[in-house]
Amino acid sequence: MQTSDEVKNALNVLFRANSELYSERGFQRRIGYGKKPALINIDLANAWTRPGNAFTCDGMETIIPGVQALLTAFRARGLPVVYTTTAYNVTEGPNSDMGMWVHKIPVEVLQEGSDAVQIDSRIAPLPNEMVIVKKRASGFNGTFLNGYLKACGVDTIIVTGVTAAACVRHTIEDGIAEGFRPIAVRECIGDRIAGAVEWNLFDIDAKFGDVEPLENVLTYLRGNAIG
């Protein structure tokens, strides 16, 4: 479902009012880029990127080419690339690893090893790129992502993926809490609900990280001070 012009206009009115409030109170500061970034692609697996799934998200006609451009830039510089997918080993019976989440959303379809949880082939990881299987919304929660990034000397996380309202947002929130500079790539973040991308990117930009257009991020990646 693409966000209609009516919804966008209503959100723009709301954003202008909230921007004034935030500005008056000292929010919306810029965290900026650091010296070494990693690309974090959140849940760009088939269950989210391909049509016909419970988790299918909109905007892939923009997100996939944008991520392809970022991958090209990161790989050219030899910078870390990380993918996450959400998957479960046990999806039947009382002793599953889905926890309480299955009582809210159909995570039982996200079976580890299935095609649904494989990274979209259009942005497939290289053998030397990390794929982290997570059980929760954030890419950091319950995974080794924090330690891996710090071992690589990373100070900036360039975040793409889905969904803006959940896994992307929680990864960015945890990222800044762990001491990284989160940069959300505007054109490379999606959701399945009208208005969810616009609202969450506005709120992320106010509180947790910088939302930047793809071209600005690519310009940063071309800089000489990285790595």
Inter-residue contact 34 to 210 (CB < 8 Å): no
**Which residues carry out catalysis?**
167
Question: Distance (Å, rounded) from C-alpha 120 to C-alpha 188?
Answer: 14
Strand order in the sheet with 156-162: 130-134, 81-86, 37-42, 156-162, 181-190, 210-212
